[in-house]
Structure formats: C-alpha cells, structure tokens
Amino acid sequence: MKAWPALVKRPTVPPREPVPFDPKPVVAFFVLAYAISWVWVIPWAATGHTVYEGEGWPTHFPSLLGPMLAAFAVTAWTAGQVGVRDLLARMVRWRIGWRWWLAVLSPLAFFFGVIGVMAAAGADLPTRNDFARISGLPAGIGIVGVALLVTVVNGFGEETGWRGYALPQLQRRFGPLAASLIIAVFWAAWHIPQFFFLNSYKNFSVAMLPVFVLGLACGAIVWTWIYNHTGSILAVAVWHGIYNVTGGTKAAADGRGTIAAAMWTYVVLNAIVLLVLERRARRAGRPSILAAR
C-alpha cells in the first residue's frame, strides 16, 4: 500500500559540525605570502633601486600577487579542487545587492566631494595626469589603465589572500574583530621591504609609521565588514583599488597631501563607526556587526 506523502518519515540530517581551527595552513599561508612577495622586492631594495610614481620599471607590482598565490596554494593543499573553485567563485561574486555596491563605491563619492570642496575653497587642484602617476606603473597608460591594473593586481592580489583566505580561517577561532587586527599586523609587516624600495614610502617620517599602521588596521575592520556581509572578494578588491587610486597617487600626495589625508580619514571614520556599533551590539547581546550574516 502506498503511503501518503505527509506520513512518509524523512531521514533526519544531523547538524553540520563547525570546522575546527587548524593553525598550520594559516601559518603556511602567511609564510608563503611573505616569501612570494619578498623574493621579488628584497633583491631590488638590496641593490639600491627605487620605484618612482609614474614609472613602470623597476616595479613592485609582481610582489602584490603574493597573498593571492599563497591563498590558492594553501587552498589547493587543504581543500583541493572544491576549495579552489569556491575561492574563484568568491573572486567574481558581483551579486551582492545595490546597497553593498553603494558602500563599496562610497570612497569614490567621498573623493569627488573632497575635490569639490577644494575647488570651492580656491585650493590648487592637482592635474589630471598626476592621478595616473602611481608607484610602479607607467603614467602613459592613463587614469583608466592605472585604475584597472591597481584593482586587478593590487586589489585582487592582496584581498584574495587577506580577506578571501586568512579572514575566514582566523575569525573561526578569534572572531571577526580580533581576526581583523591580527591580519592588520601581518599586513603591515608584509609592507616592510617596500619602505626601502618605494619612493613614496621612503619619504615617510618615523612619526608617520603609526599613522600608516592605524590606517591599515582601520581598513582591515572596514573590509571585514564588507566581506563578511557579501562573501565577495570582488567587493573588497574594488574598495581597495579605489582607495589606492584616489589616495595613493602623486596627485593625492602633492602639496600638503590634502587628498591623501582626507581618504585616510574616511577609512578611519568608517572603522570608528563600525567599532561603536560593534560595542553597542555586544552590550545589548546582539550578533556582531562585523560577523557574517
């Protein structure tokens, strides 16, 4: 006799156990990211070469791919083809909702606002060509070429590693905020050889180093928030690319560095708002603002 569908007992699916945190792949990731990046940068720095804004050689750009290559290598080792396909899928995930795209593109809107305020105040504005002058790329490729290469090489090269691999691993053990700060420490240390190789970094005073590290820490918090709510490496790579193009060119640093300072301030203010909301959520017993939904 055929049983009624409503009376058919379905097998019970046991709840999925959380994957335990294993530090060995994470350590391997950071070691490999440093090794791949530094094997390109350190020989140039050791031989006295300097990367100048608007010049394509010598360049540090190949070193920016280190975190991404390390992420793929460790993912292939620990998760095989399934993990690699998942990593690739997150790199091209663009369906994140228009509100999140507004958040991702907000630094560009802020940048144009800064330019507008400077123009209204009668300040000297940098030339269009100076916005195409960034360390390690030839100015001849123009603003569009610089923006594309910075987003693809710099944005994906770093964010596939820092946010695409390291963040999901570390926050399983330490939570999103602590994981962000841990990544910020390793991210800052990863830049060390560039201070002996990039002309823009060579000009940093000792007093600017804490400012640099604070900016990275705040950026890590903001990008944790974006990544955890979108699951999109593409989103954080675009945010990263926009920030570097608007705040890291010769135009941004010229004069009193007003544009660079404004973009740095924008990142810091975003992080402060998120930290305030995170504290309120914890006090009220609500889920973390930074955690994945």
- pLDDT digit string, tens, across residues 129-154: 899 999 999 999 999 999 999 999 99
Q: What is the pLDDT of residues 209-250, one digit of tens each?
A: 999 999 999 999 999 999 999 999 999 999 999 999 999 999
Q: What is the pLDDT of residues 161-193, one digit of tens each?
A: 999 999 999 999 999 999 999 999 999 999 999
Q: Tell me the C-alpha distance between 183 and 30, whole Å.
A: 10
**Residue 255 · residue 107 · CB < 8 Å:** no
Q: Tell me the C-alpha distance between 134 and 138, whole Å.
A: 8
Q: What is the pLDDT of residues 41-53, one digit of tens each?
A: 999 999 999 999 9
* 7 pLDDT more than 60: no
Average pLDDT, the chain: 92
Global confidence as pTM: 0.91
The pLDDT-based confidence of 5 (bands split at 50, 70, 90) is very low
DSSP 194: G
The number of angstroms, rounded, from the C-alpha of 64 to the middle of its chain's C-alpha atoms is 11
97: left (phi over 0), alpha (psi -120 to 50) or beta: left
Residues 6+ apart with CB under 8 A from 76: 83, 84
Which of 2-6, 40-44, 269-273 comes out lowest in average pLDDT? 2-6
- Alpha helix segments (H runs only) across 205-257: 208-230, 233-247, 250-253
Burial 216-226 (b: 16+ CB within 10 A, else e): bbbbbbbbbbb
**Residue 107 · residue 246 · CB < 8 Å:** yes
Question: What is the DSSP track for 57-93?
Answer: SS--GGGGGHHHHHHHHHHHHHHHHHHHHHHHHHHS-
Q: What is the pLDDT of residues 72-123, one digit of tens each?
A: 999 999 999 999 999 999 999 999 999 999 999 999 999 999 999 999 999 8
